[in-house]
Structure 1
Amino acid sequence: MTSSLPTVPTTPIPNPIPDVSVANTNQKLATEKILSSGTFTSGEHSTKGTVTIMDDEGIPIIQFDEDFQTSAGPDLFVILHVNKDVLATTNPPAYSLKEGEYVAIAPLKATQGVQNYSLPAAIILENYQSVAIWCRQFNATFGTASIQPSN
C-alpha cells in the first residue's frame, strides 16, 4: 500500500494489556449500518465464522457472529491487518506477522460465539483490509477474514 498507516501502537503490545472497550455482547447495537464483512479462513489453527464491521452512532464495532469459533491458545488478540489476504503474504505453519502491518484491537474475549469490539478513534478503518485472530506470544495467525466494503 502506498498510503501511510495511522500513528497508533502496533507492536509491541504492553504487558499487562491496557483496558480496552469491549461492547456488551448481549446488547443489540443501536444502529446497524454495515461497513464491511468477511468470512474467516483457518491459518495455523481452525477458525470459522463471519466478521462484520458496523457503525454504531459513529463508533466502528467489530462483531463476530454466533458461528465464530477458533482454537484455544495463549495471548490471543483481535487485530486489523493491512493486507487483504494475510495467509498469502505470510509463511506457514505459523503465518507470523510483520511489525507495522497490523494493529491490535483487543484481547480475544472467547474462542466462540458473538463478540463485539469497539475500534479506537485513532484507527483509520480504510487502511486495513482484514481482521485476524493472532497469538502474540508465538506470533501465530490462527485465522483471518478479508473484509469487503458494504455497498
Structure 2
Amino acid sequence: MNIKIRYWLTLGIVSVAVISCTRVKTVSSPQAQETPTVQASAIPNSQAQEAPAVQASAISGQTIRSGTFVSAEHPTEGTVRLITQNNQSSLELDQNFKTSENGPDLVLILHRSADVIGSTQPPTYPLAAEDYVVLAPLQKFEGAQSYPIPDNVNLTDYQSAVIWCRQFNATFGAAVLR
C-alpha cells in the first residue's frame, strides 16, 4: 500500500477512536428551570395541578412530622419537615440537605410506605406509580428549600418523603415522616 494512503488511513482511524472515546458532559437539567412547579394529585400521575414553589427562607410554621434522609441509589442526607402555616402545608428540606447531582429528572415526592428503601429492590429502588404523589422538580441539589403541598393531597396517606429520579425510576434517598 502506498505510504500516503497508509498515513491518511491510520490518521483517520486514530481520529475516530479518539473522538469516540471522548466523554461529553451536557449541562441541561430540570433543576435549572427558572420557575419550579408543583405537580400533585390524589391519584398520582393523573390530573396534576401546578403551583409555584416557595423558598424555605420565608417559611416558618408548625412542624407536623419530620424525618432524616437515608441514602438509596445515591448519597442523600439532611432533614425534611412537614409543616403547616396559615392552613397551608409545605414540605421543607433543611440547610443540611444534600443529594447527588447525577439525576437528570430529580423530583420530590410523598410516598405511602414508611419503608421505601426496604420495600424496594437495589440498586435503583424502583417505585410503583400508585404509591406516590409528585410535589415538584427538585429546586437544587443541596440546601434549604420548600415545596407547597396542594390541598387535595391527604397527608395521612403518605408516610415518607423521597428524592426520586423520575426518568430512570431510581430512588436517591428517603425519609420516614414521624
Larger Rg: 2
Q: What is the deviation of 1:19?
A: 4.0
Q: Which of residues 107, 127, 151 is equivalent to 1:121? A: 151
Partner residue in 2 for 1:11: 45
Partner residue in 2 for 1:27: 58
Greater strand fraction, Structure 1 or Structure 2: 1
Partner residue in 2 for 1:86: 116
- Give distance in 1, aligned partners of 2:159 and 2:57: 27
- Give distance in 1, aligned partners of 2:130 and 2:75: 25
Preserved contact between residue 20 and residue 106 of structure 1 (Cα < 8 Å): no
User: Quick one: higher RCO (CA 8 Å, sep 6+), 1 or 2?
Assistant: 1
1:2-151 equivalences in 2 (<5 Å): 8-11=42-45, 19-29=50-60, 32-72=61-101, 73-148=103-178
- Give distance in 2, aligned partners of 1:142 and 1:13: 26
CA RMSD of aligned residues (A): 1.9
Preserved contact between residue 49 and residue 64 of structure 1 (Cα < 8 Å): yes
Provide TM-score, normalisation by structure 1: 0.85
Runs of 4+ with >4 A deviation: none
- Give distance in 2, aligned partners of 1:34 and 1:122: 19
Question: What letter matches 2:56 in structure 1?
Answer: T
- Give distance in 2, aligned partners of 1:13 and 1:78: 18
Identity across aligned pairs (percent)? 39
Post-superposition Cα deviations, 1:14-70, rounded to whole Å, max 9, x if no partner, equal 8xxx743211233143xx211000000001000000000110111111000000000
Aligned residue pairs total 138
SS in 2 for 1:26: helix
Preserved contact between residue 42 and residue 154 of structure 2 (Cα < 8 Å): no
Q: Give ranges in structure 1 of 5+ residues lacking alignment.
A: 1-6
Greater helix fraction, Structure 1 or Structure 2: 2
Q: Aligned in 2, Cα 1:78/1:116: closer, same or farther, shift over 3 Å?
A: same
